[in-house]
Amino acid sequence: MLARWVSRPFPEGARTGPARREWLEEACGRDRSGNREPAARDPQGAGQGGRRRCRHRAGRRPLRPRPLLARHRQCDAGNRGPVRHRLSGRCPHPCDLPDAGRARGAGPPAARRGRSGMTGALDLAPRAEAPDRELWAQVCETARTHAAAVDQEGRYPAEAVAALKASGALGCAVPPALGGAGTGMATLARMACELGAACASTAMVFAMHHNQLACLVRHAGDNAWLRDFTAAVAAQGLLLASVTSEEGIGGRLRTSRCAVEPAGEGRFRLEKQGSTVSYGAEADAFLLTARKDAEADASDQVLVVLPRAGATVEPYRGWNALGLRGTGSGGFRISGTGDRAQVLDVPFGEIAQQTMVPNAHILWGAVWLGIATDVLARCRAFLRTRMRSGSSAAERGLPTLARMHGHLQDMEAALARAITVYDGQRADPGALEAILLKTRLSDTALTVADMGMRLCGFTAYSNEGPYSLSRHLRDLYAAPLMINNDAILADAGRLLLVNRTAFGAFDAEQDLP
């Protein structure tokens, strides 16, 4: 009706009287008896999709669809100009709104699914440092496709790691001078987060490998052998494994029983019984900690590179764990010989403080953030489904969903600060924030998974279905155990006792020793 009214010119002779009434009835689609006629749609009077123009402003653009108006929090705003006439009918239900991420996303569905859903706190580095976006999305999709089988069978994620090698992701952090892309920590963390949302085992393999690679890149110096080996990592996609654990040392990183022993001129011999060596059966090379020599103290350590070609690797304990079942973190006896150039000149204490520990905490934390992000995504989809079906019980889960999102934002902010400090090489290994980063991220991620399990109930408790959180929860239970949180917190407590920083007026009045 309104479309005809504004599109039809007002006849000159129908300003008043019966002629005006007759014109109005015809324009409104009524016959003389008052019955409405089926009005044909006026192509000039109706906007796109049949939306009609305002009767007062024929030149206005058509109103937006109601869901778009609600998304922009303008229930009666037009495409331009101030508030206009109200839309009739109910306001759209939140579940009727189009997914914002899907509306903005570019590229194929696989590329969109590969994104982590982060708010952008970790996007601190140029995209050019990372593998091609579509190629990386395919890597994440491969990891996601095989994640359930990797978990159920407790096997190595061979397909996903092969995709990592083919994409160049295992060597992307190598400097351009040695054949890599020079990928920075922010981009690596983003990649680890996206892999974590797809498959935690694959993401942890990626994170542990890049942790070892960072030690080489930062501390190889002018050692020709180490530089050539680092270039080979970039060219061939060699997979590096860490062997810092050892039987009989109680999980202490800065303690070793084995030692580097001489084996002829310019050669060495090393044998170590690693209690927990992730993907030891698949690694192309190992980075082992050992005492500098047979006479050195347990804390006088060096880092040794031992390629698999020059090593003997014997498993002595398997890996059938609650979570992270694809990492294959069993016990291995590793022995071999090599050139003295394979031993880094920098003491391991410096490597651990400056690179290994902060790098591990950041990349592990990014993996945990990715797992927690996928938990949030599944919980949101669960609530949307329940609300579409009219379930009133779903409303009670909305505050929990908001709290979960807040926890994820806190994790992102903590990671972003840690990355800025790490990239600026301003890290103080004794600072409380650096020490507590790992405990905060691991505890928070586990809290998010627990909240998701309670929110979705037995639907999440099940090992099957699109809303299952069983694997996520089991994978995250490993987070507080990787370098046990209680040991880290005990170190932080000792640091607080000797810290001379005053906490409030009462503390300022105390006489510190």
DSSP string computed for 26-42? HHTTB-TTSPBP-PPP-
Mean pLDDT of 66-90: 41
**pLDDT tens per residue across span 399-417:** 999 999 999 999 999 999 9
What pLDDT was estimated at residue 271?
Answer: 97
**pLDDT tens per residue across span 200-244:** 999 999 999 999 999 999 999 999 999 999 999 999 999 999 999
Q: How confident is the model at residue 143 (pLDDT cuts 50, 70, 90)?
A: very high
CA 160 to chain centre: 16
Q: Which residue has the tokens 């398997």?
A: 318
First-residue to last-residue Cα distance in the chain = 88
**pLDDT tens per residue across span 435-446:** 889 999 999 999
Q: Which amino acid is at 97?
A: L
Which letter, b or e, does each residue of 329-339 get, where b requires 16 or more Cβ atoms within 10 Å of its Cβ? bbbbbbbbbbe
What pLDDT was estimated at residue 407?
Answer: 98
Beta bridge partners of 337: 269
Question: What share of the chain has pLDDT > 90, as a percent?
Answer: 62
Mean pLDDT of 356-371: 96
**Nearest-angstrom CA–CA distance, 510 and 502:** 9
Q: Which of 382, 361, 390 is nearest to 488 (CA)?
A: 361
What pLDDT was estimated at residue 274?
Answer: 96
Q: Are 456 and 393 in contact (CB under 8 A)?
A: no
Q: How confident is the model at residue 391 (pLDDT cuts 50, 70, 90)?
A: confident
Tokens standing for 20? Answer: 């005006």
The number of helix segments (H) and strand segments (E) in the chain equals 18, 7
Secondary structure (3-state) at 426: coil
Whether pLDDT at 470 is above 60: yes
What pLDDT was estimated at residue 88?
Answer: 37
Which of 92-106, 195-209, 241-255, 261-275 has the lowest average pLDDT?
Answer: 92-106
> Domains in the chain and their CATH numbers?
350-498 (1.20.140.10)
What pLDDT was estimated at residue 69?
Answer: 41
Please, how many CA atoms are within 13 Å of residue 54, restricted to the half-sphere of its CB?
19
Tokens standing for 65? Answer: 């669809």
Is the pLDDT higher at 141 or at 128? 141
Q: Are 207 and 281 in contact (CB under 8 A)?
A: no
DSSP-derived letter for residue 76 is T
- Total residues belonging to the chain: 513
Tokens standing for 468? Answer: 């299952």
What pLDDT was estimated at residue 496?
Answer: 84
Secondary structure (3-state) at 139: helix
